[in-house]
Amino acid sequence: MKKQILQLILVIAVTVGLGGCRSQSASEDAGSTAAETKTAVPTPGVSASPSPEELPPLPDQFAEVTFTDVTAEAGVHFVHNNGAFGKKYLPETNGSGCAFLDYDNDGWQDILLINSTSFPDAPKRIDSVMALYRNNQDGTFADVTVAAGLAKPVYGQGVAVGDYDNDGFVDIFVTALGQSLLFRNNGDGTFTDVTETAGLTSPGYFSSSAAFFDYDKDGWLDLFLCNYVEWSPETDLFCSLDNINKSYCTPEKYQGQSSRLYRNTGGKFVDVTEEAGLLDPGGKSLGVAIVDFNRDGWPDIFVANDTQPNMLYRNNGEGTFTDVALLSGVALSEEGKARGGMGTDFADIDGSGNPSIIVGNFSLEMLAIFRNQGEGLFIDEAPSTNVGRDTLLSLTFATFFFDYDLDGRPDIFMANGHVADDINKVQPNLTYAMKPQLFRNEGDGRFRETSSQAGPPFQKPVVGRGAAYGDYDNDGDLDILLTENGGPAYLLRNDNANQARFVRFKTVGSESNRDGIGAEITVSLPDETKQWQVVHSGSSYCSQSELPLTFGLGRNDEIATVEIAWPSGKVDTLTDLPANHLYVVKEGVGITERTPLPMRIKRP
């Protein structure tokens, strides 16, 4: 009886709390908004929605945010197999990526780790496979790869996650050396390889990163696939650092391979690379960021190329793209040199309303911070700031923006590691394994390295490759997944960031694609500051971060206004949202679910 009364109070508390936030939809069915907005009734073990005054007290001073390696206690035992057997084949040193995704829609981020496998001419085959780890909602994960139907040996490199068939379940695209694979999510915990029926069979590409996005805004997610170079065991070349032993050749020795754009025609894909103006046989692409750099509402494509100029494909809005990288200042270094571009990402780093772009580069090349000056112009600020000095030696694969301390300013993560395992013998100032790096945004788009205060994971050199962020423990702050070539994957838990306020949004498109990829969320705080982010696939290197967006609110207990601009053109406006919640927002409807965070973790 006592329990029933308690449950009743919880339901009332949630309902009253929801009354404070109105959804005003710009859509035609705005009239039905109130009726369709429903409340998620709290389930046992999950705390009720706190009113703003019930938020945990703010400390006078925030403690340092640190990261803790929780891989072992989380039950993640994955080890990457790069297939190496002494021949130093080029693809060995590139993999592999990772993803945070919620494949079973339970509101908890699951983990996917891409793997490579043996080369066809290896004397002994090891049929290694990728690993899907289901989130047990108690800080641990269960390996469900076999049951999910994903235990398929493939020479994998990267991953993109998106609901290509708009059925409400995210699907998985695995990029590979050779045939990349599309796995349709059956909605029951299993996946089916639909590569062929979906029209994605391709010749021998050496693919790397990929991104789902809706370039023609027809409500179906299209796919951009980065390709690297022409390579096969038969055409592998001999290169050497010491003129004796074989080492990995730089990509300069190989012919490039054009990236591809596939248009989704309603569950089937068609290669539209040439008609879209994207054919680039010289391209040696490793990273892609879908960034509307000129804010005209059409998603543009930034491609990081290795030893070739980067590309910035402006979306002309009628099915074609024009490369404006050289004119915009993002193609080359300050000295006019093409660099070894790898991972990439974008964010509004200075509150200007314009997205800036970062690119991870080779050692002795610095991270690129292309600051958006507006009017389609960028200037690389790394050489003139401490970031250039602090990233000079780093060979950076994955890099991304995330607000790790939830102060409202996007910070930078870098996964580093050299490509040559014997580099230290010929270049004593460089090492194969390198420490990851963290840079805090100090305001106005200036960054300061905070790696030395960020905990043991940032003191440990690894051969870093892929990386993604996601809030795997539903406590509101962003955790990190990091992969190592020929080594383990690392789950790094964020500690202390959620002492500041935050808010998370999951988007559900109706006219737009189901994931709401491309939706732009602008958060206005009572102190009149604004932040915006875009729901996106791609970015980083060969990896995909979680789709929900997290906004750091610092000391603000609530958000004044939230505007969600959907790819369809619809705009939903929400007001007076309390902090420390995850809100599920449906296009044209408004909030359909609100979950207070930190969510109390179930104990096994």
Q: Does 411 bind Ca ion (CB under 5 A)?
A: yes
The CA distance from 44 to 47, in Å, is 8
Tokens of 381: 């600020």
> Should residue 92 be labelled a site residue for Ca ion when binding is judged by CB under 5 A?
no
Which of 102, 216, 280, 495 lies at the binding interface for Ca ion (CB under 5 A)?
216
Cβ distance to Ca ion smaller for residue 119 or 269:
269
Residue (of 49, 108, 48, 41) closest to 592 by Cα position: 41
For Ca ion, the closer CB: 155 or 212: 212
* Candidate residues 103, 133, 169, 231; the one interacting with Ca ion per rule CB under 5 A: 169
Q: Angle CA(12)–CA(18)–CA(23) in degrees, nearest 5?
A: 155
Min. distance of Cβ 472 from Ca ion in angstroms?
Answer: 6
Amino acid at site 340: G
Task: Decide if residue 471 touches Ca ion (CB under 5 A).
Answer: yes
Name which position in 102, 110, 171, 558 contacts Ca ion (CB under 5 A): 171
Cβ at position 261, least distance to Ca ion in Å: 10
Nearest approach in angstroms of CB 265 to Ca ion is 8
Of 409, 418, 504, 586, the one binding Ca ion (CB under 5 A) is 409
- Using CA atoms, how far apart are residues 488 and 578, in angstroms rounded to an integer? 39
Per DSSP, which regions of 139-241 are E strands? Answer: 141-143, 156-162, 171-176, 181-185, 191-193, 207-213, 222-227
Q: How far is the CB of 535 from Ca ion (least distance, A)?
A: 15
By rule CB under 5 A, what string of x and - marks binding of each residue 486-505 to Ca ion?
A: --------x-----------
Binding string to Ca ion for residues 139 to 168, with x set by CB under 5 A, is what?
------------------------x-x-x-
C-alpha–C-alpha distance, residues 343 and 354, integer Å: 20
Of the residues 449, 473, 558, 572, which one makes contact with Ca ion according to CB under 5 A: 473
DSSP 438: E
Alpha helices (H) along 278-404: 325-328, 386-390
DSSP character string of 345-378:
EEE-SSSSSS-EEEE---TTS--EEEEEEETTEE
H or E element, residue 259 = none
Q: Which is nearer to Ca ion, 39 or 186 (CB)?
A: 186
- Distance, in Å, from the CA atom of 92 to the CA atom of 155, rounded to the nearest integer, reads 10
Strand order in the sheet with 549-554: 549-554, 501-508, 581-586, 590-596
515 touches Ca ion by CB under 5 A: no
According to CB under 5 A, which one of 104, 280, 348, 479 is a site residue for Ca ion?
479
Site string for Ca ion, 427-466 (x = CB under 5 A): ----------------------------------------
407 counts as binding Ca ion under rule CB under 5 A: yes
Q: Which stretch binds Ca ion (CB under 5 A): 225-233, 272-280, 471-479, 596-604?
A: 471-479
Residues in a beta bridge with 530? 524
- Which span (299-307, 461-469, 478-486, 525-533) binds Ca ion, by CB under 5 A? 478-486
Q: Quote the CA–CA distance of 203 and 252 in Å, as a whole number.
A: 22
> Given the complex with Ca ion, which of 260 and 418 has the nearer CB atom?
260
What is d(CA 366, CA 122) in angstroms, rounded to the nearest whole number? 36
Is 218 a binding residue for Ca ion by CB under 5 A? The answer is: yes
Does the protein bind Ca ion through residue 405 (CB under 5 A)?
yes
Distance CA 569, CA 512 (A): 9
Number of residues that bind Ca ion (CB under 5 A): 22
The radius of gyration of the chain's CA atoms, rounded to the nearest angstrom, is: 23
- Examine residue 102 and tell whether it contacts Ca ion (CB under 5 A): no
Q: Which is closer to Ca ion, CB of 407 or CB of 572?
A: 407
- Closer of 365 and 390 to Ca ion (Cβ): 390
Binding of residue 222 to Ca ion (CB under 5 A): yes
String of b and e for 519-529 (b: at least 16 CB within 10 Å)?
A: bbbbbbbeeee
Member of 477, 515, 546, 563 binding Ca ion (CB under 5 A): 477
Interaction of residue 587 with Ca ion, rule CB under 5 A: no
Choices 77-85, 222-230, 428-436, 543-551 (CB under 5 A): range interacting with Ca ion: 222-230
DSSP string computed for 130-156: -EEEEE-SSS-EEE-TTTTT------E
What distance in Å separates the CA atoms of residue 580 and residue 63, rounded to the nearest whole number?
A: 18
Return the residue of 365, 380, 475, 495 that touches Ca ion, per CB under 5 A.
475
Under the rule (CB under 5 A), what is the footprint of Ca ion? 163, 165, 167, 169, 171, 185, 214, 216, 218, 220, 222, 403, 405, 407, 409, 411, 471, 473, 475, 477, 479, 494
